[in-house]
Structure 1
Amino acid sequence: MPISSTPVDVSSSSNSVVSKTENRPAPIQTYEGHEDMVLCVAFFQDEQRLITGSRDGGLRVWNRETGAQIGNHLEGHARAVRAVDVSPDGRIIASSSSDSTVRIWDAETELLRTLGHEDDVNSLHISPDSKRVTSGSDDGMRVWDIEAGELAFKPIKCNGIAGCVRYSPSGDRIASAAISIQIWTADTAEHILSIEELVFPLAWSLDGEQIIGGGDKDIIIWDSSTGEQIGTWEAHGSWITSLSLSRNGTHLATCSHEEKTVFVFDITTGEQIAAYEHDDKVNEIAYSPSGRSIATACRDKKAYLWDAPEDPQPTVTPIQTYEWHGNRVFCVAFFPDEQQLVTGSLGGGVRVWNRETGAQIGNVLQGHSDVVWAVDVSPDRRTIVSGSDDNMVRIWDAKTEDRPAPIQTYEGHEGWVACVAFFQDEQRLVTGSADGSVRVLDRETGAQIGNVLQGHTKVVWAVDVSPDGSTIVSGSSDNTVRIWDAETEELLHTLDHKGNVQSVHISPDSKRVASGSLRVWDIETG
C-alpha cells in the first residue's frame, strides 16, 4: 500500500560523531535471562511484548513494561540466533540462525516449521502482508511462503554473502546487501538494480524511494530506482551493523557491534540528536512501531529499552478513532456526504462507521477471505465496492445496515485487487490488480464491460476516473502512469516515473492528473 514519508534529502557532508554525552540517559527497562550475548531484538506490533535472540541459541519473549520473561524460552536452534522478526499481523515469529535454519513460530511460541539453508542464515524479514519471509545467508537469499513452508521460487544468488535482506514498505521489492546492494521484485525475484557499495545493514525510507545503508563508519542514502547517491555522513568509528528507522521516517537509529554507543540522527540533515551509552558493545537496535521506544541487544547478555527522541514534527490529535477491526486497517474511504466512512482490513472485513461518533454502523461486510486492499463508495451513496487479496471485487448495498452478503462479486482478475474507483455516472466502476490489468465493471450486474485495459507489466496500485467520465488513469509498480479513453479503451498516453506509482488523482476540471511522487500532468498533451 502507499505509505507516505518525509523525503530523504541529505547533503553530502561529514558530521563528526561525539561518543560521550554529558547527560547519559538511562534505560527504562532491562531484559535479563539469556546465557550468552543478545544478538537481535524485535517488537510485537502491540508493543506490549518484544522478543530477543541470543548466541546461546534461545529466543525469549518479554513483557515490555515489567521486563519479565513471558513463558519459557523458545528452544530449537542449535547455534546462535542471528535475526528475529515478528509479522505485521502479530501472529508469526521468524528466527534465523548459524545452524543454517529459519524457524517459524506462532505468536504463542509453538514451533510451526523449520526451513533449511545450506549455510549460516544472517538476516530475515517478514513481508508487509505477513505471508512470506525472506532470509539472507552465506549461500544467498531465499523467499519462503510462511503458510506452506515452501520456497516461493528458486534460491537467489546474491553478489556474495547476503548479510541483510529487507522488504520495501509496500512489499513489492526486496533489497539484499552483500558485496553490492541488489534490489529484486518480491513476486518474481527479477533483478532490478545493483548499487556497487559494500554495506551491511539496510533500511528503506517509508515511501520506498530511498534505500539506506550502513558502511564503514558512514551512513549512505541512495535513490532506490536509479541507484544515485543522495547523501552521506559519518556516524560511527567502525563498521555500522544495525539500522532502524522511526515510524515517521525522520529519525535513524544506528549502532556498531564494535562500539558501546547507539546514535540517533535526523535523516534529513544527518545531525546527531541522541546518544545512548551502554556498558558493553551493542549488536542490534530496533525502533518500536509507534516510534516512542528503542530496544538494544547487547554483548552483556541483556537487552535494554530506551525512550526515543521526541518527534520533531507537530503531533496531530485525532478527533475520532474507529476500532474493533482486530487487524491492521489497509484502506479507508469517505461517503460523499462525509457523515460515514468505510474501512477494509487484513482479516478480510469491511466496516462502515459513523464519522462523528466513531460507532460501527451495521454488521461487518463479510465475504473476502484475505486482505482488503481498497474500498470506495458510489457518488449516490448506495453502493460500496471492495477489492481484496483473494482476487475478488465485491459490491455491497450501502443503504441497509443488514448486509448478509455482497450483492455482486466479480472474479475475473488473476491477481489480487489493489485499487477500485467509481465512475460519476454511478453505473460503472474501475479496478486495478496485481495481474497488471485495469478493468471496467457494471455496478448492477458485476459483469466486465468491454475489454481488459492491458499495458501495465506489474501491480496496478491506483486508478481514478475523471469527473467528466471520459478518462481513466492508472498508476503501477512498472513506474508508469497510463491514461486511457474510457469509451474507446484506447491507451492515450504513457507517462514515466523513476519509481513505483502508488497514487493518482484527476483534477476537478478533468484536465490534469497528479501522481505520486509528486508529478502533475496535462491529460490532453501528456
Structure 2
Amino acid sequence: MSGHANMITGIVYLPEGDRVATCSRDQTVRVWDATTGEEEGEPMEHGTVVNCVGVTKDGKRILSGGFDSKLRVWEVETHKLAEVWEGHELLIYSVTISPDGEFVASGDGGGRIVIREAKSGGEIRHSFETRSTVESLCFSPSGEKIASSHYHVIRVFDVATADLVLGPIKAHEHFVVSVLWSLDGSYLFSGSSDRTVCKWDSVTGDAVGEPWQLEGHTAEIYSLALSPDGTRISSASQDKTVRFWDTDSGGPVGEPLEHAGAVRALAFSPSGEFIAGGVSDKTLSIWRVPCPIPEHRPVKTFSGHEGRVWSIAFHPDGKQLVSCAEDNFIRIWDLETGEEDGKPLEGQGKDMYNVLLLPDRKRLASGGVDKMVRIWDLESREVVAELRGHTESVRWLDVSLDGRYLASGSFDTKIKIWDLETGAIERDTMSMTADIYFVKFSRDGTKLLAGSNGDGMSIWDWRSGELLVGPIDEGNGTIRSVLWLKDDEELLCASSKGTLRRWDALTGNPIGEPFKAHEEILYYLTMSGNGKYLATASGDDTVKVWDAETLEQLVVLSHGGDANYVTFSPDDKFLASACDDKQIYLWDLSQMEAMKQSDNASFLDVRHRSTDGRSTN
C-alpha cells in the first residue's frame, strides 16, 4: 500500500480489524482499508517526523507522537486534529494505551514517561524520569503495571503510584527495541537489535531459560509483536523479513515473510489471522500469518482428584475455585498458585455430582450418591447441615437468586425445594418419570425448570407446585442443560445429540431449528456474566465458546477426555472446565474477540468471509 513519502515508523490496527493506521517520517498519519488496501481520507499532518502511533480502545481517536515532543489526538472518522497534549520536552519515541482504555503512556528521548488519562484533556497522572531513552512501552494485561525498554535494560513501574517495582534488568548487550508482556502477565519478553529475545519472570525479574537466538535473521531487529492469543511473537528486521517464534519454547514457527525493504514496525490483526508490516521502502504490507493457529492452551491445570471431575464453581471473589469429583472429594483451589487450598472436603458416597457456592459466600452445597444435600462451612470445612429426603443420588442443585431456597433434582425422579435458613423442605410435589439431570430457577425466582432422561423438561410455579409448561419433548436427544433467556421468556437447551435449540418458555414451542454445536453429547451450557458469550462442554473432548447473540464459534478448547462442565469467572476473563481426565483447566479469555477462529452458521443465517491473503505494495 503506497502513499507515504518516507519510511513507515509505526503501525496499529483499529479495534474492528478492518482498518490500519500508520505513521511515517514524512510527518503524516494515514488510515488504510485493511481489505482493499485503499487509503481512507486525507493524511493527518503531524508537522514533524512521527515515531509512534496508537488508537484508543473505542477506535474513535488516533494518537501520534514525534519530533515536536507533543502527542496529537485525531478523530478517526474525520481525520481532524482534536487535541494536542503537552508533557514532554524531547522527541516522543513510544505511545501505548492501557488494556481497559483508561490511560495513555508515552516515552521520550530523555527518558521521561508520562501517564495520562485517555479521555478528552489528557490529564497527566504521572510524569517521571528514567534517564535513558524510552524505546518502547507496554502495559501489563491487568493494566496495573507498565514495562519500558531502554538502551540495555527494561524496567517495570506501578501505574497507580509510578513507583519502580522491578529493575532495571540488564537485558541485552545492545539496544532493547521492544518489551512485551505475556498474555497472562507472568512473563516479560525483551527484543534486542542483537537478534535475541529474552524471557523474564515478571515478579522476580529472573531470566526464564536461555536467550532465544533468532536464527534466520541476518541483520538487526527493529520491533516485536505478540499475537492476540499469546502463543507467538513476530520479529521485524533490517534483513527484509518477518519471522515467528513460539512463546513457550522460543523456537521458530511457520515460514518467514519476505519484503523488498527492511521491515520497521509490526502489528497483528485483532483476529491474529493477519499481520501488518511497515517498511522502509515507504509501503505497508498485510500478510496472512503463515503458521497455523495453534491449539489454545490452559494457563493453569489443577491436578489432585482421583476420578472424573463433575462440577466446578468460582468463588465470587475470583480467587478460588471449588470442584467435586468421582473420588468423593470437594477440593478448593487457589487460582493464583494453582495449588489446593487447605484440606479437601470428604463425602460419604462414591460420586459427588454437583457443588455450588451459596450467595452468602460462607457456605457451599453438594449433592451426590449418598442421596443427601450437604451444606458445608467454607472456613471450617465441616458439614453444617444434611438435607435428607431423596431416595436416590442427588444429581443437580440450584439456588434461588435471593439465596433463600435450594432446589435439588435426583435419580429418584423427585424435585425438592429446601429452605436454607431452616433446612426444611419447602416443596416436594414436583416430579418427573425418569432420572432428573438438571434443575434451574428462573431469573425472577418464581419458576423452576427441570429436565429428565425420559420426558424432556417441564416448568412449574414452584411455590404452588402448578405445572405451567411441559413436558417439552426435544425430539433430538435428551436435554442435558438449559439457560433462561430474555426475562425468562425463552430457553436455550443443550442436548445429548450435541445440538442447541431455543424454546418459548411461555408456550413450550420451539424457536427455529436445532443448531449443531458438537459431534457428541453436550453435557453443559453456561453464559458469561456480561451476557456476551456462551460456553459448551461436550463428550467430543472439547469446550467451545460462542457469541451469545449470533452463535458464531469463537474458540475451541481441547481436552484429554469428556468435558463435563464449564463456567466463567466472575470477571469473565477466565473459563474453567472439568474433565474426565481428572483435571480442571483454567483458560484465559481476556482477549476473546482476538480468539475468533472461523465463521459458523448462526440461528438466522450463514455468514461468509473472504479467506484470500492480502499483500499490496
TM-score of the superposed pair, with normalisation by structure 2:
0.47
In 2: Cα distance, 1:132 partner to 1:153 partner: 9
Give 1:201's aligned amino acid.
S
The answer (yes or no) to whether the contact 1:159–1:178 under 8 Å persists in 2 is no
Give 2:171's aligned amino acid.
E
Q: Which residue of 2 aligns with 1:223?
A: 201
Matched, 1:269 2:314: no
Matched, 1:399 2:444: yes
Matched, 1:209 2:229: no
Deviation at 1:127, TM superposition (A): 0.9
In 1: Cα distance, 2:220 partner to 2:165 partner: 27
Give 1:233's aligned amino acid.
W
Deviation at 1:310, TM superposition (A): 3.6
Match among 260, 273, 292 for residue 240 of structure 2: 260
Q: Which residue of 2 aligns with 1:94?
A: 63
Deviation at 1:78, TM superposition (A): 1.8
Match among 105, 118, 140 for residue 134 of structure 1: 105
Q: Which residue of 2 aligns with 1:361?
A: none
Q: How does 1:28-427 map to 2 (within 5 A)?
A: 31-75=1-45, 77-108=46-77, 109-116=79-86, 117-139=88-110, 140-179=112-151, 180-194=153-167, 195-198=169-172, 199-215=176-192, 216-231=194-209, 232-235=211-214, 236-256=217-237, 258-273=238-253, 274-314=255-295, 379-381=399-401, 398-399=443-444
Q: 1:67–1:514: structure 2 CA closer, same or farther, 3 Å change rule?
A: closer
Q: 1:49–1:43: structure 2 CA closer, same or farther, 3 Å change rule?
A: same
Give 2:73's aligned amino acid.
I
Q: Deviations over 1:105-141 (max 9, x none)?
A: 2332332211121011001101111121100101311
The answer (yes or no) to whether the contact 1:158–1:176 under 8 Å persists in 2 is no
The answer (yes or no) to whether the contact 2:140–2:181 under 8 Å persists in 1 is yes
Q: Deviations over 1:251-291 (max 9, x none)?
A: 110012x3211111122222222211111111111111110
RMSD of aligned Cα (Å) = 3.0
Give 1:272's aligned amino acid.
P
The answer (yes or no) to whether the contact 1:182–1:193 under 8 Å persists in 2 is yes
Q: Deviations over 1:342-361 (max 9, x none)?
A: xxxxxxxxxxxxxxxxxxxx
Q: How does 1:454-465 map to 2 (within 5 A)?
A: none
Q: 1:503–1:45: structure 2 CA closer, same or farther, 3 Å change rule?
A: closer
In 2: Cα distance, 1:253 partner to 1:516 partner: 23
Q: Structure 1: which 5+ residue stretches go unaligned?
A: 1-30, 317-330, 332-337, 339-377, 384-396, 402-501, 508-512, 518-526
The answer (yes or no) to whether the contact 1:39–1:52 under 8 Å persists in 2 is yes
**Secondary structure, aligned partner of 1:32:** coil
Deviation at 1:400, TM superposition (A): 9.0
Q: Structure 2: which 5+ residue stretches go unaligned?
A: 298-317, 319-353, 355-397, 404-441, 447-572, 579-583, 589-617
**Secondary structure, aligned partner of 2:277:** strand
The answer (yes or no) to whether the contact 1:382–1:398 under 8 Å persists in 2 is no
In 1: Cα distance, 2:76 partner to 2:250 partner: 37
The answer (yes or no) to whether the contact 1:201–1:240 under 8 Å persists in 2 is no
Q: Deviations over 1:283-327 (max 9, x none)?
A: 1111111100000001111100000134343479xxxxxxxxxxx
Deviation at 1:159, TM superposition (A): 4.2
Q: How does 1:490-509 map to 2 (within 5 A)?
A: none
Q: 1:247–1:504: structure 2 CA closer, same or farther, 3 Å change rule?
A: closer
In 2: Cα distance, 1:226 partner to 1:309 partner: 35
Deviation at 1:230, TM superposition (A): 0.7
The structure with the larger Rg is: 2
The answer (yes or no) to whether the contact 2:56–2:118 under 8 Å persists in 1 is no
Q: How does 1:434-473 map to 2 (within 5 A)?
A: none
Q: Deviations over 1:29-80 (max 9, x none)?
A: xx211111111111011111111111111111111110111111112x2221
The answer (yes or no) to whether the contact 2:240–2:258 under 8 Å persists in 1 is yes
In 2: Cα distance, 1:133 partner to 1:43 partner: 17
Deviation at 1:95, TM superposition (A): 1.2
Q: Deviations over 1:2-36 (max 9, x none)?
A: xxxxxxxxxxxxxxxxxxxxxxxxxxxxx211111
Deviation at 1:211, TM superposition (A): 0.6
Q: Which residue of 2 aligns with 1:441?
A: none
Determine which structure has greater relative contact order: mean sequence separation of CA pairs < 8 Å that are 6+ residues apart, divided by chain length.
1
Q: 1:514–1:191: structure 2 CA closer, same or farther, 3 Å change rule?
A: farther
Give 1:185's aligned amino acid.
D
Deviation at 1:148, TM superposition (A): 4.2
Q: Which residue of 2 aligns with 1:5?
A: none
**Secondary structure, aligned partner of 1:41:** strand
TM-score of the superposed pair, with normalisation by structure 1:
0.54
**Secondary structure, aligned partner of 1:241:** strand
In 1: Cα distance, 2:242 partner to 2:291 partner: 16
Q: 1:204–1:280: structure 2 CA closer, same or farther, 3 Å change rule?
A: same
